[in-house]
A and B are shown apart, each in its own frame.
Chain A
Amino acid sequence: MNIADIINPANLVYEKTKVMNDVPMHYCPGCSHGVVHKIVGEIIEEMGIQDKTIGVAPVGCAVFAYKYLDIDWQQAAHGRAPAVATGIKRLLPDRYVFTYQGDGDLAAIGTAETIHACNRGENIAIIFINNGIYGMTGGQMAPTTLKGMKSSTSPNGREVSLAGHPLNISELLAKLEGTCYVTRQAVHTVAAVKKCKRAIQKALENSMENKGTSIVEVVSTCSSGWKMTPADSNNWMVDNMFPEYPMGDLKNI
């Protein structure tokens, strides 16, 4: 059987989800954002909730998420996505509301909004992309930057005496009574992508069950900021990020 016979709509097993718009994404080659966008789109398509989902986009590389996923979006000021999502969810409780935030957004400038939204137990899902640096602005040090990790503002590596310890915000949020589901995932392999997809689906489902806030942290790569190829970034993430940010559920009620 030749390839021309196989490539036939009847034999189709995987194509880009219809929830994603047919536009090129601005992300760098190999960026984890693309994979997470894709799985969010697939979940929304599978759950059939395209008309009932509202995303809150952050400031950071994912600021243009509204261009790529064909759902309702609201843009929040830097770090304020959980506060904006709180308002949306309280006014429109029949909608699936999620925020999509990076580590600079969620763990630095938006720490107060994040912690208080989670402490109140708002019925929203938070997708937290943790790549250890401020990717969009040029790879500056973030609270999640690892000890000794080089960034554009810590060229000799992060010094704990000067910049403090890496902030493990998901473990902090897991201790709050308002959260119902806190998990840490990655998207570097096929198995990890599938696990991450199940986690995000569960977070969206939880948001409808009045259980509290769900947080899915996705430990990600930033090949441009880390100055590595995408494949090397994935290996570096496994070797260096995973010991500090171990995979798995931190809380699941």
Chain B
Amino acid sequence: MAKFKGAVVVNTERCKGCDLCVVACPYDVLSLSKDANSKGLNFSYMSTPDNCIGCMACATVCPDACITVYKVRNDQ
């Protein structure tokens, strides 16, 4: 089991669905939603949240800075 457990919050109104976070995520946590935001863009969401370790790869490459990352130690 991974040492850390993470979670991301995507600002769905700001997300433009560019897919870069989905490509950057090393654990395939994120996917593009089938739903669209008010601009008609398919935003990113955590499709397999259990895999997230809070590595911040998605947030680092996000061009619109719309991802916030939270992380905890697994033994807590």
Contact = CB atoms under 8 A, between A and B. Distances in A.
B68 A12 contact: yes
Given A12-B70, A231-B19, A1 B65 contact: no
What size tier do the contact residues of chain A reach? 35 or more
Nearest to A32: B63
B59 A11 contact: no
Q: Is the interface of A mostly helix, strand, loop or mixed?
A: mixed
Given A6-B72, A11-B71, A25 B64 contact: yes
Contacts of A13: 6, 54, 56, 69-71
Given A7-B9, A30-B16, A15 B63 contact: no
Given A20-B65, A29-B41, A231-B19, A11 B49 contact: no
A121 to B, nearest CB: 33
A68 B13 CA distance: 17
A9 B49 CA distance: 18
Interface in A1-58: 1, 3, 5-8, 11-17, 20, 24-25, 27-35, 38
Interface of B: 5-7, 9, 13-14, 16-20, 23-24, 41, 46, 49, 54, 56-57, 59-72, 74, 76
